[in-house]
Structure 1
Amino acid sequence: MDTVELRGLVTLLRARATDLTDLEAKTAVGGLPKSVRETISAFSNGRGGTILLGLDERADFAVAEGFQAARIRDDLASACSSDLEPPVRAEIDIVDIGEGAIVVAEIPELDPRFKPCFVRSRGEYNGSFTRGGDGDRKLTDFEIHLLHTNRGQPDDDRRSVDGASVEDLDGLSVSYLLRRVRQRQRRAFDGLDDEGVLRRLNVLAPDVDGRLVPTLGGMLALGQYPQQFFPQLNATFVVYPGVSAEDVPAGGPRFLDNRTFEGSIPNIVDEAVAAVLRNTSVRSFVEGAGRRDVYDYPVEALREVIVNALVHRDYSPYSRGTPVQIVLYADRLAVANPGGLFGAVTEDDLGGEGVSSTRNPVLVKLLQDVQLPDSDRTVCENRASGIPTMLREMRRAGSAPPEFHNRITRFKVVFPRHALLTAETMAWIEGLGATGLTATQQMALAQLHEGRAITNQSMRNLGLDGRRATVELADLVGRGLAARIGERRHARYVLVPSAGRALAEASQGDREGAVLAALSGRGEMSRRDIELATGLGQITVLRALESLIAVGKVEATAPPRSPLRRYRRI
């Protein structure tokens, strides 16, 4: 990392007045802090991160007086090599930022096959950490269990279901499956009777008494009512009237819709897609002699996100009490499933060609031959096409791309409801004074303006090849619009605070105007959301909000110390 890039990160820390999820600063004047080992563990178990040593948070992240860079560099290298298991191969440098020299360490994400990384002296279950906000927290036993299972291939979907029988499968669905696989794969099933085919497909397996009964995968794909045996293996659907669960109008309903979808996965997908479409607006366009209906969320993208959640969720006993959750807000749709990404796939890989790793191979293989209700199409293709389809359909609709949030215990996809390049966003981009931006750079800036980080992969998801994505991101950094956090494939780009303040500076430093502009058309926002949208620091935002509340232009939704406090423009 060169000096210019590092100064950008320091500027970012000063503007935010706190550490970030993947950026940690410590003073380290009296020696290497013990907590650095926890941060290294947390970054290794997540997406990687950057540690800056020699910055004093209490002095606005100035270079700490008395900091001994060479000594701390050597101590940090020793800690990475000797104090963590497995050892961490960090890139550690001393960089002079003009005010003095600090130590910069780039911590890579650990290969999923070797997670968790833990502090040796504390042991695996007491010394494994992850990031939570701008700090570190210990991994729970369940999270460590999931990381262990991620090292191999889970077999939960091929295990027999206690108490079930062949009669619990849907006869019509089984008949269609048998007919289809015999047509498609004649050699694999030649000479086998129906029972033999179902055994070979892992629909049936012997239980502890030797009886042939449905497997979990067979029951989920073909069962009449799997919830008889697994009550929570379903999907829930909630529609909120506002932009959060707490955003309820006075005297209005808490939910606009609240449902649970049960049955086999094909039935759940069919009913869930229909329910979301019923609760979203539709615009009709006349095309020739026909009519085309356009929904808030493209139907194909909607179907893929629900299928992915049901197919790739964690089905281990630890997670069988948690359903797939579909939540519709006024400004977005969120679909979450238990269990994070499986195998070697990371968030940065999502959308890449042929990128796939299957937690439930029996279930996925079955569903490529199982029909959706009242349809001639199957549930999934099993060709790593789900997320590319979501991206393509959202791009065709002119919508903002989906957001992916991966945690060890949960994976969530968020579909924004709005278009990416709105008039307000284009005005903000023009206010930056940057000429010659490409269309993809403008789309990248629009995402940064919303408080989202971008990566090389997210630029490729906009239609660029890898080389061009690297060039355009480097240009945004060179223009002083974006700052890079992390190195190589783990690099993420965030908005430089000075760029976030450009709109406010264009109106003679009107900070209150910048806050009002951020609140316009966005419903309720937290203080943190406003900081990300404007690039203003925490104290500046709080002072602006206090002034705006006093003159009746903004109102708060909760008392000052409440974690639910949000702000809306009056």
Structure 2
Amino acid sequence: MGGSELKRLVALLRQAGTDLEDVEVKAGSGGLPKSVRDTLSAFSNGRGGTLILGLEEEHAFRPAPGFNASRIRDALAAACNDDLHPPVRAEIEIVEFEDTLVVVAEVGELDPRFKPCYVAARGEYNGSFTRGGDGDRRLTDFEIHLLHTNRGQPDDDRRPVSDATMADLDPLESQLLVARVRQRQPRAFAGLSEEQILRRLNVIADDTEGVTRPTLGGLLSLGAYPQQFFPQLNVTFVAYPGVSAQDIPTNGPRFLDNRSFDGPIPAIVDETVSAILRNTSVRSFVDGRGRADVYDYPAEVVREAVANALLHRDYSPYSRGTPVQITLYVDRLVVANPGGLFGAITEDDLGGEGVTSTRNPVLAKLLQDVRLPETGRMVCENRASGIPTMLRELRRAGSPLPEFHSRITRFKVIMPRHALLDDETMAWLTGLGQVGLSSTQHLALAEMRAGRTVTNGTMRNLGLEAHRATSELSDLVNRGIVVRVGERRHARYLLAPETATPPPALLAEPATGSSAEDLVSRALADGSELSRRDLEERTGLSYMKVLRALKTLEATGQITPTAPARSPMRRYRRTSSAG
């Protein structure tokens, strides 16, 4: 990281008033802080991050007196190699900053096959960390379990379900499946009975006592009512009238729709998609073929998102009490499922043709040959095409690309509702005064302005080749309007502080009172004490927008923090004088 790049990054930290999720700052005047090892573990177990040593957060990120850059660099290199297991391979350099020297380390994400990375002296279960907001949080036993299963191939969908019998499978759907595979693969299934074919497809298997029972994958694909055995292996759907669960109009309903969908996966997909589309409106757009009317979220996009969530979720015993959760707000659709990305797939890989890795191979195989009740199409017609299909349909409809958020225990897709390049955004882009920007750079800047993460993968999903994606993002950094955060392979890009400030014509908040400060203040109006992460969930705002709103509200005396800035117990509450 060069000096100018570090300068813009520190300006961003000063604006936020705190560390970022993937940027940690420590003074290091008295030597290498012990907590650095926790941060190295956390960055390695997440998406990587940047560690800056030699600045004091409590003094507006000014250079720390008495900091010895060369000594700290050597101590940090030794800690990476000797104190972490597996060793952390970080890019460590000394960088000049404000007439002094600081140490900057770019820490990459560890290969999933070797996670978790932990502090060797504490052991795996006490020394493994992840990032929680702007601090480090110890991994739970469940999270470590999921990381272990990610090293191999889980077999939860292959195991027979205790107490289930052949009578719990839908006989018609079983017959249709058998007929389809006999036609498609006659060499593999010719001359076999229906039971033999179902066994070969792992729809049924013998339990430890030799009793033939449906497997979990078979029950979820062909079962009459799988929820008899697993009540929470379903989908819940809630449609809210505002931008958060707490944003309720005066005398208005708490929610517009609230239901759950049971049955086998094919029925759940059809019923869920229908419910979502019933709660959205139709808009028009113009493409190469003329004017077209589509739902706010194209039906094909919604279907792929729901099917992917049910196919790729974690079905281990730890997660069987958690459904796939779908939430519709006025400005976005959120699809969340238990279990993060599986295997070596990262968020940046999503959208690439042929990119796939599933923790549920039996289920994935079956859903290619099991039909949707309404259309007769297969649930997963072409494996590995789901997310590319979503991206293609969204680009065609002129909609923003979805956000993908993968954590160890949870994967979430967020689809914004509004057009990306609206009149206000176009005016903001013009106000930047930047000549020669490409259309994809405009889209990337609009994504950043909306508070969404932009990476090399984002640019590829906009239709660019990898080398062109890197070139266009580097150009934005070189122009000084964007800041790169994180190790190169896992870098993300944010608007530079001066770029994030809108032109004077755009500074006024909408008359609706929907500024970030208003939303945060409203979320605290019931007297709750909420963490920053709680406020993100309640308001639907991005990490950075919540941080800025909290800083403004605290400075104006409208809210009070309940603990010091670095405490994991820090919450916020409204002051008695706040309106």
Q: TM-score, normalised by structure 1?
A: 0.91
2:275 is matched by which residue type in structure 1? A
Match of 1:562 in 2: 573
Deviation per CA, 1:25-48: give whole Å up to 9, x if none.
110000000111000000000000
SS in 1 for 2:77: helix
CA drift at 1:435: 1.5
Asked whether 1:297 is paired with 2:308, we answer no
1:336/1:413 contact within 8 Å kept: yes
Given that 1:515 and 1:544 are in contact with CA atoms closer than 8 Å, whether structure 2 keeps it comes out as no
Structure 1 residues 85-122: Cα deviation after superposition (integer angstroms, max 9, x where no partner): 11111111111124211001011101101111111111
Q: Deviations over 1:340-397 (max 9, x none)?
A: 1000011111112211101100000000000000323100034211111111111111
Partner of 2:86: 86
Query: Paired residue for 2:520?
Result: 526
Q: Contact 1:16–1:538 (CA<8 Å) still a contact in 2?
A: no
Report the number of matched residues: 545
Alignment match, 1:549: none
Deviations 1:501-538 (A, max 9, x none): 242xx46xxxxx73626987779643885994699796
2:23 is the counterpart of 1:23: yes
Note the 1:178-257 alignment, pairs <5 A: 178-257=178-257
Match of 1:483 in 2: 483
Q: Which residue of 2 aligns with 1:351?
A: 351
Amino acid at match of 2:303: R
Is the CA contact (8 Å cut-off) linking 2:340 and 2:406 kept in structure 1? yes
Counterpart residue number, 1:510: none
Q: Percent identity?
A: 65
Residue of structure 1 equivalent to 2:14: 14
CA contact (8 A) 1:500 1:535 kept: no
In structure 2, the CA distance between the partners of 1:314 and 1:396, relative to structure 1 (3 Å rule), is same
Q: 1:221 to 1:466 in 2, by over 3 A?
A: same
Distance 1:87 1:284, change over 3 A: closer
Q: Which residue is equivalent to 1:137?
A: 137
> Which whole-Å CA distance do the structure 1 matches of 2:356 and 2:341 have between them?
10
The 3-state SS of whatever aligns with 2:573 is coil
Secondary structure in 1 aligned to 2:44?
Answer: helix
Distance in 2, Cα, partners of 1:530 & 1:502: 17
Specify the alignment match of 1:146 in structure 2.
Answer: 146
Look up the SS of the partner of 1:459 in the other structure. Answer: helix
In the alignment, the residues of structure 2 paired with residue 564 and residue 414 of structure 1 have an alpha-carbon distance, to the nearest angstrom, of 33
Q: Which letter does structure 2 place at the counterpart of 1:497?
A: P
Q: Deviations over 1:10-58 (max 9, x none)?
A: 1111111110000111100000001110000000000000000001112
* 2: CA distance, partners of 1:499 / 1:518: 24
Per-residue CA deviation, residues 243-299 of structure 1 (Å, 9 max, x unaligned), is: 101111232221211111000000000000000011111247999xx9964111000
Normalising to structure 2: TM-score of the pair? 0.89
Aligned 8 A contact 1:530 1:541 in 2? no
Distance (Å, rounded) in 2 between the aligned partners of 1:80 and 1:262: 49
Rounded to whole Å, the distance in 1 between the matches of 2:433 and 2:284 is 38
| Match in the other structure for 1:514 | 507
1:370-389 alignment runs, 5 A limit:
370-389=370-389
Q: Which residue of 2 aligns with 1:75?
A: 75
User: Matches of 2:231 and 2:575 in 1, distance apart?
Assistant: 32
CA distance in 2, matches of 1:75, 1:265: 53
Tell me if structure 2 keeps the 8 A contact 1:496–1:535: no
The 1:563/1:337 distance shift into structure 2, 3 A limit, reads farther
Give the conservation status (yes or no) of the 8 Å contact 2:125–2:144: yes
Checking the alignment, whether the CA contact within 8 Å between 2:25 and 2:51 is kept in structure 1 is yes
Q: Deviations over 1:41-83 (max 9, x none)?
A: 0000000000000011122111111100000000000111111
In the aligned structure 2, how far is the partner of 1:351 from the partner of 1:247?
33
Question: Mean Cα displacement is larger for which, 516-525 or 326-335?
Answer: 516-525
Matches of residues 487-506 of structure 1 in structure 2 within 5 Å? 487-503=487-503, 506=504
Q: Which residue of structure 2 lines up, in the alignment, with residue 416 of structure 1? A: 416
Contact in 2 for aligned 1:531/1:541 (Cα 8 Å): no
User: Would the alpha carbon gap of residues 284 and 531 (structure 1) be closer, same or farther in structure 2, given more than 3 Å must change?
Assistant: closer
User: Structure 2: how far apart are the matches of 1:360 and 1:418?
Assistant: 34
C-alpha offsets along residues 432-471 of structure 1, whole Å, 9 cap, x if unaligned?
1112111100000001101122111100101111111111
Instruction: Decide whether aligned partners of structure 1 residues 422 and 532 sit closer, same or farther in structure 2, where only a CA change above 3 A counts.
Output: farther
Map Cα deviations across residues 226-248 of structure 1 (whole Å, 9 max, x no partner).
01111111101111111101111
2:106 paired residue number: 106
Partner Cα distance (2:166, 2:291) in 1: 45
Give the conservation status (yes or no) of the 8 Å contact 1:368–1:378.
yes
Q: Which amino acid aligns with 1:516?
A: E
3-state SS, counterpart of residue 24 of structure 2: strand
Q: Distance in 1 between matches of 2:343 and 2:459?
A: 23
Give the residue type in structure 2 aligned to 1:514.
L
2:319 matched to 1:326? no
Provide the C-alpha distance between the structure 1 equivalents of 2:214 and 2:291, rounded to a whole number of angstroms.
Answer: 45
The 3 A distance-change label for structure 1 pair 103 and 406 is same
Partners of 1:16 and 1:537 within 8 A in 2: no
CA–CA distance in structure 1, aligned partners of residues 43 and 152 of structure 2: 22
